[in-house]
Amino acid sequence: MSNIPADLSYTESHEWIKIEGDIATIGITDYAQSELGDVVYVDLPNVGRMLNKGDVFGSVESVKTVSDIYSPLDGEVVEVNETLNARSELVNSDPYAAGYLIKLKLSDQSSVSSLLDSSAYSGLVG
C-alpha cells in the first residue's frame, strides 16, 4: 500500500501538491515513484516559466521508462529542486519532502478545488 499523506492534494496523473498561501509545492506520489522504479534523472523547468494546468513541465527518467510530469495548477515556477540534479534518487526515497520537484506561485487559487483529496487518490490507486 502506498503512502498517501492526508494533508496533501493529488492529481489523477500522480502528482502531489502542498498548498501554502499562494505557493504550491509539487512532486510525484509514492505510488508513482514505486511504479517507475529507480529514478536516474529528473528534468525540471527553469525558474520563471509560466505553467498552465495540464502542461508538461518536466520528466522523471527511471531504469524502466521516462514519464512526463504535468502541472496540476496555473502559475509561475519560483523554485526548482536543484538537489535532484545530483541526487535524483530522493524522488524514490523521500517523495513528499526532499524529493519534491518544483514550487509554483499560483495565478488562480480557485483551480485548487479541482484536485483530489487523499481518500479520492487512494481510491484511484487502491
- 66-117 pLDDT per residue, tens: 999 999 999 999 999 999 999 999 999 999 999 999 999 999 888 899 999 9
56 beta partners? 70
Number of domains in the chain: 1
Residue 124 counted as domain residue: no
- 4-47 pLDDT per residue, tens: 999 999 999 999 999 999 999 999 999 999 999 999 999 999 99
Which domain does 80 fall in, by range? Answer: 9-108
* Exposure of 55 in the CB half-sphere (CA atoms within 13 A): 15
Residue 118 counted as domain residue: no
Residue 69 counted as domain residue: yes
Residue 115 counted as domain residue: no
Q: Determine how β-strand 15-20 pairs with β-strand 23-28.
A: antiparallel
Residue 126 counted as domain residue: no
Residue 39 counted as domain residue: yes
Residue 89 counted as domain residue: yes
- Predicted TM-score of the model (pTM): 0.96
Residue 116 counted as domain residue: no
